[in-house]
Amino acid sequence: MAVLQPSRSRDLDKLLLRPGHLVGPSFEPGPELREDIKEYVKVLVVGAGGLGCELLKDLALTGFRNLDVIDMDRIEVTNLNRQFLFRLDDVGKPKAEVAAKRVMERVNGVNITPHFCRIEDKPLDFYSDFSIIVLGLDSIEARSYINAVACGFLEYDSDDTPREETVKPMVDGGTEGFKGHARIIIPGTTPCFECTIWLFPPQVKFPLCTLAETPRTAAHCIEYAHLIKWNEVHGGKSFDPDNPEDMQWVYSEAVKRAELFGIPGVTYSLTQGVVKNIIPAIASTNAIISAACALETLKIVSGCSKTLSNYLTYNGVEGLHTKVTEFVKDTDCLVCGPGILIELEKSITLKKFMGQLEDHPRLLLTRVSVTHRGNNLYMQAPPILEEMTRSNLDIPLFDLMGGLARDIIHVNGMSGKGDKKQSCLRKLRVAFKGVDGVADIDMAGGA
């Protein structure tokens, strides 16, 4: 009888090496499972801030050996009180690179690949390589984008049943002071981020008349410098919240405004918080939510126990309170559903098709990029890709899709009206009239 070598983690072995009453139907305990997780499971951590640092550490200690982390920010002095992987000498360096380096120094055998860039800069193929995506973000827009990417891989069969091999699970964590949440998203089964977007309250907006004429708080002075004074002085130049020089300028103007009206409390840290809508973070909350996320990640990839059903909330304001709520999937969701059905003539060109998306009542998409089965049909950016795909604009979409009667395509662009547009990814079910028995479909409702 073979003798099992002792593992570094006794508690982890209790989950992976023996059966139990709460295990999943496909769970097969044993050292092979532990080794398979180390060798074959690839995890992407999105965000390397307060929660992201904890996630990288926890996932590495949970036995995951192939990790990637993506974050576009650089380390600031104000990060050091809670983002424990960073030191004073790291200020100005990319968070993703420093966080990956620190965890690899402390956990033997783990390999973490950092990506210092925007999440939108990565092609869809990048995200398709991962077994699971773990989110440690503080932005609704970033969550929405990653959610759309993961749900975009989901395919349905003829009965609108999700195909298991196309499911890209996600674990999402978030913290706000002494409160936090951890949730699992299994596209096609559990509600996705867009299904429950109503859980997030709207951001606070200040009337411009108050900012311009009767400021009463430090936040009013900061928003005056950010929204009004910046445009007066810089004209058409866009404000970049990630540019330290731009942020310093807003801070300086906010201080002047506050002194003029006798308002105390304007600091550089508060300026960052107001402009970037940063929520104060507490290290202990990050640690608790990260632990929940890491455990759910392990349960999803191994089947060693039942997962959350499906949204956990934590409140440590007064004592400690946790609750799990089972939300229901929106069957008409534009993101995790089967996709919006669009019927087209065979002769329609890619350019005209993109124009239709702008007027579609359920899409309202502008600046559209189009991909089909991983092939770029047209890309708005970067310039070299736009030039390479520009010639496709006058070619019938039917030909670009290889003469298929119906198939899934993905479109990426700006969705919404007026100043409420945001980057999004949508999945479309395209069917061509008169091909392979495709009948006319009433598209007035967009589906």
More confident residue, 3 or 234: 234
Give the Cα separation of 138 and 79 in Å (integer): 14
Q: H-helix or E-strand containing 136?
A: strand 132-136
Q: How far is CA 232 from CA 210, 236, 260, 261, 342, in A?
A: 17, 9, 18, 20, 45
Give the pLDDT band (50/70/90) at residue 334.
confident
Q: H-helix or E-strand containing 219?
A: helix 218-223
Long-range residue pairs from 233-237, CB within 8 A, at least 24 positions apart, any chain: none
User: 201-214 burial, b if ≥16 CB within 10 A, otherwise e?
Assistant: eeeeebeeeebeee
pLDDT single digits (tens) 20-45: 888 888 898 988 998 999 999 999 99
Q: H-helix or E-strand containing 114?
A: strand 111-115
Give the pLDDT band (50/70/90) at residue 130.
very high
Does 333 participate in catalysis according to the annotation?
Answer: no
Q: Look at residue 44 and give its three-state secondary structure.
A: strand
296 CB-side CA count, 13 A: 28
- Greatest alpha-carbon pair distance for the chain in Å reads 82
Give the pLDDT band (50/70/90) at residue 134.
very high
**Residue 297, pLDDT score:** 97
pLDDT single digits (tens) 174-231: 998 899 999 999 999 999 998 998 887 666 666 777 788 888 899 999 999 998 999 8
Give the pLDDT band (50/70/90) at residue 447.
very low
Question: Could you say which of 195, 209, 304, 424 is catalytic?
Answer: 209
428 contacts 399 by C-beta, under 8 angstroms: no
**Residue 253, pLDDT score:** 94
R_g of the chain computed on alpha carbons: 24
* One-character DSSP codes across 145-157: HHHHHHHHT--B-
Alpha helices, DSSP H, located in 95-165: 95-106, 124-128, 140-152
What's the whole-number mean pLDDT along residues 114-137? 93
Q: Look at residue 288 and give its three-state secondary structure.
A: helix
What's the whole-number mean pLDDT along residues 386-407? 91
